[in-house]
Amino acid sequence: MPSSRLSERLKSLNVADGDDVEDSLVISIDFGTTYSGVAWATRVDFGNGNINFIHSWPGNGREEGKVPTEFWYGNDKEPSWGYEIPDDVNPFRWFKLLLLHAEDLDDDVRESKFVIRAQDMLENCGKSAVELVADYLRLVWKHTMSTIERARGDAVVEALPIHVVITVPAIWKGYARQAMEDAAKMAGILDYRLAGTTRLTFVPEPEAAALSTLLEQGSGARTGNVYVICDAGGGTVDLISYEVNRVDPIVLREAVEGTGGLCGAIFIDQAFEHMCCGRLGSRGIKLNKTCLKQIMKGEWEYGIKPQFRLGKPEKEYIVSVPAEAFGQSLLGLNDSKREPYIKNGRIYFKGYHIERTFEDIVYSIQDLVDGQIEKAKEKGLSVTGVILVGGLGGSPYLYEYLKALYSEVGISLLQPGGTKSRTAICRGAAIKGLLEDQYKERGAEAPITIESTISRASYGITYMTRFEPLKHLEEDKKWNEHEAEWSASNQMKWHLQRGQNASKTKPVRASWCSLYRQCEFNGTLRLTLFECDERIPPSRKSSNVKPVGTLCCKLDIQYSDLPEFDSKAGGVVKILQYEIELVPSGASIEFVLYVDGRKQGGQSVKIRLK
């Protein structure tokens, strides 16, 4: 459920337009590296300011906004997932990142022991990364539909059209998003329903967080404000900055290119685990997986970590150690020779001990936030506030540390209270889907939109031009039969460059032409879109330029209708003039072709992603 402020905001925006709006169901899945969550709402729910979250998960007796992104096949048993997994096994973890090619992972991520272990387990299980993700999503989806049906009734849910929104990292390439779509299909999410085809869209995680937090803030946003969204999750921390271009409705644009790092909550957990084992010394050897999980979940995850605050170095935090760690001897139950002391089988940590587990990660997050602030300054922008979301984003210690740091320079810290920080992305994804269904379909203006993003790569196509010996490479020299001259092939024209602002309302367009003899024209045009991650893309197609997708369009023009081209080679040569348009679309870029102002290929031309 949203806060009262968000509820009032949604009602005041009149998001439900009476009886003329057909009801539907939006389900958002925040598929995270370490934890995942699900939110859902009908249009009627949304109009009343309500977004529902799944808080009850199999294998867990307490309410939780998220479920571990963990999966275990077992020994010829039904697969287990989330909280159901036994304490004494090694489940699949971090398998979300296996959808990316190794070369597209940052060095620290690629070399992380978590990713290496996940890759080794994948090789041994005989499944692909897509199949593994699909197996996990299948169980999440089954539980989700069961939960919604219990709340609304089987017949009601079966009659509602469904729109599923899945969150993806902003830096993911097209092939990884395609892999997620394939996994969703394999998981049964898009199976046939009597209510019609289930719609699937993706939303970048920082965009979802911005939609959720800034819509809730409402009138607090001012034109020109710049907010750094810091999504501090379990494995990674991702940041993105948005500038408010307009209010009422709120219109945002991405201010600087997003960044991220491998500095999530799991590394704080690791530091605490090592501290416990190190203090127990030889007794730590007897802390088997079950004992460690009891300490890490019961004492740390649900106890110390979420309540730990800045500025209380002498406060005691008591950790009960399972009796089996001490064996039959009772001598180890007490040890006051060094800190932290052990008394009656309990470790008495002080605040300054616990602070050590947070320090390195908090400093890394500070560096990432500082980087966004500096990038904004380079563009003449001043950051107004930092918004913390994600599991670690809800930490009182992280919030208080950054607040003390940035308040000195006039930057405010915002942290959605309670579980809202942890579920902000899931909530934002649901809002994205509901706003699209209720506003975009009717051509109306939504209460909050992100009108432009910063391109993470350069996108363009190859072309031929007149060969110039001092400019072009000899290996690109090719005879052009149509113009009877030497041309340079493999040249790149970049329509959208890395770091450039890509507007959804003003797409990038460029004019091109192709020459044909009648035997060469078959009424179909194929164009391959290429991408390059380099800061300054090359002028020719090099090894760093990769194909991202091919547009194949059946043209609505005949060869006889094309104008003739004055060819030096003689014979009849005709020219096809067209425009290429690149449209940012959520978590991807749509590649569109126009001839004489007419969009080719029907209502929606999609890239066939590699």
Convert the pLDDT of each residue in 483-496 to its tens digit. 889 999 999 999 98
H helix or E strand, kind and range, residue 46: helix 43-47
Assess whether pLDDT exceeds 50 at residue 2: no
The rounded distance, in Å, linking the Cα atoms of 466 and 469 is 10
Strands in 137-236 per DSSP E: 162-168, 199-204, 226-232
Helix axes 129-152, 113-125, angle to 10 degrees: 90
Residue of 277, 395, 388, 397 whose CA lies nearest to 325: 277
Q: Provide the pLDDT for residue 586.
A: 54
Same topology for domains 4-207+423-448 and 455-609, yes or no? no
Assess whether pLDDT exceeds 60 at residue 15: no
The rounded distance, in Å, linking the Cα atoms of 7 and 435 is 15
Return mean pLDDT, the chain: 87
Domain boundary assignment for the chain: 4-207+423-448, 216-261+366-416, 265-357, 455-609
pLDDT band at 441, cuts 50/70/90? low
Mean local confidence (pLDDT), 512-540: 91
Assess whether pLDDT exceeds 60 at residue 6: no
Assess whether pLDDT exceeds 80 at residue 547: yes
Q: Mean pLDDT lowest for which of 42-46, 400-404, 520-524, 602-606?
A: 602-606
pLDDT band at 9, cuts 50/70/90? low
pLDDT band at 606, cuts 50/70/90? very low
Q: Mean pLDDT lowest for which of 25-29, 199-203, 416-420, 557-561?
A: 416-420
Angle at 49 between CA 46 and CA 53, to 5 degrees: 75
Q: Provide the pLDDT for residue 16.
A: 44
Q: Does domain 216-261+366-416 have CATH number 3.30.420.40?
A: yes
Residues whose CB is less than 8 angstroms from the CB of residue 583 and which lie 6 or more positions away in sequence, other chains included:
504, 507, 589, 590, 592
Helix axes 396-406, 351-378, angle to 10 degrees: 50
Q: What is the CATH number of domain 455-609?
A: 2.60.34
The rounded distance, in Å, linking the Cα atoms of 29 and 205 is 11
Assess whether pLDDT exceeds 50 at residue 34: yes
Assess whether pLDDT exceeds 50 at residue 534: yes
How do residues 104-162 score in pLDDT, each as one tens digit?
Answer: 888 888 888 999 999 999 998 889 999 999 999 999 999 999 999 999 999 989 999 99
pLDDT band at 19, cuts 50/70/90? very low
First and final C-alpha spacing in the chain: 39
Assess whether pLDDT exceeds 80 at residue 87: yes
Query: 448: which 2 tokens?
Result: 């909050």
Percent of the chain at pLDDT exceeding 70? 90
Phi, psi torsion values for 159, nearest 5 degrees: -85, -10
User: Exposed, middle or buried: residue 484 (CB in 10 Å: 0-12, 13-18, 19+)?
Assistant: exposed
Residues whose CB is less than 8 angstroms from the CB of residue 481 and which lie 6 or more positions away in sequence, other chains included:
569
Q: Alpha helices of 260-347 — where are they, by DSSP H?
A: 265-280, 289-294, 305-307
Q: Provide the pLDDT for residue 337.
A: 86
Strands in 199-272 per DSSP E: 199-204, 226-232, 237-246, 250-261
Q: Mean pLDDT lowest for which of 215-224, 501-510, 547-556?
A: 215-224
SS3 162: strand
Q: Provide the pLDDT for residue 17.
A: 47
Higher pLDDT, residue 504 or 81? 81
**CATH superfamily of the domain spanning 4-207+423-448:** ATPase, nucleotide binding domain (3.30.420.40)
How do residues 238-251 score in pLDDT, each as one tens digit?
Answer: 999 999 999 888 89
- β-strands 588-595, 573-585 pairing: antiparallel
> 């290929």: which residue's tokens?
601
Residues whose CB is less than 8 angstroms from the CB of residue 274 and which lie 6 or more positions away in sequence, other chains included:
none
Higher pLDDT, residue 282 or 406? 406
Beta bridge partners of 201: 165
Query: 89: which 2 tokens?
Result: 């096994």
The rounded distance, in Å, linking the Cα atoms of 260 and 229 is 11
Q: Cβ(435)–Cβ(471) under 8 Å?
A: no
Query: 110: which 2 tokens?
Result: 């690629």
Query: 497: which 2 tokens?
Result: 């460059």
490: left (phi > 0), else alpha (psi -120 to 50), else beta?
left
Assess whether pLDDT exceeds 80 at residue 375: yes
Higher pLDDT, residue 124 or 371? 371
Q: Provide the pLDDT for residue 597.
A: 84
- β-strands 162-168, 25-31 pairing: parallel
DSSP annotation of 424 reads: H
User: What pTM did the predictor assign?
Assistant: 0.85
